Amino acid sequence: MQQTLSIIKPDGVKRGIIGEVIKRLEASGIRIVAMKMLHLSKAQAEGFYSVHRERPFFQSLTDFMSSGPVVVMVLEGEDVIQKYRTLMGATDYRKADEGTIRKDFATDIEKNVVHGSDAPETAAFEIGYFFNRLEIVH
Ligand code: CMP
């Protein structure tokens, strides 16, 4: 059984589509095993996205991610990393498949509604960044 980290980003929370994202997760058979809402500081957003610190969009991304509350979740299921990435669609919503979360709701390559881990090693780091063992149900 695999786990991945999901974030509903500040644009998704502001636009009132937390329920829509969760509905799609549950409809696809993905289990939510941890969830909380928090408002990241700039430093916390920088720590989370530290792999991107050399990228030109790093400042703008971490400003955006600390601009309002987010919902973070741990998702569990067979092949859930890939399954959730398929539900989200491509990072750039203009390239995302029809029916994906980003195609339906994203407005910008940065303001793309959701985040999902891209591999087991990043999932382990990202889950540990937000949750301790007691906060994840078994
Ligand atoms: P996410 O999946 O959270 O991973 C890194 C984030 O950087 C990405 O979604 C976007 O929100 C943001 N981003 C902004 N510009 C780019 C870009 N040119 N390429 C990739 N990600 C970008």
Is 109 touching ligand 1 by the criterion CB < 6 Å? Answer: yes
Going from the Cα of 109 to the center of ligand 1, the distance in angstroms, rounded, reads 6
pLDDT score, position 30: 97
Q: What pTM, to 2 d.p., does this model score?
A: 0.97
Q: Quick check: is 115 catalytic?
A: yes
Percent of the chain clearing pLDDT 70 (strictly above): 100
Q: Whose CA is nearest to atom 6 of ligand 1?
A: 110
Range 41-62 average pLDDT = 98
- In angstroms, the CA 100 to CA 103 distance is 5
Asked whether the beta carbons of 129 and 7 are under 8 A apart, the reply is no
- In angstroms, the CA 117 to CA 66 distance is 19
pLDDT score, position 84: 98
pLDDT digits (tens, 9 = 90+) for 69-108: 999 999 999 999 999 999 999 999 999 999 999 999 999 9
Is 45 touching ligand 1 by the criterion CB < 6 Å? Answer: no
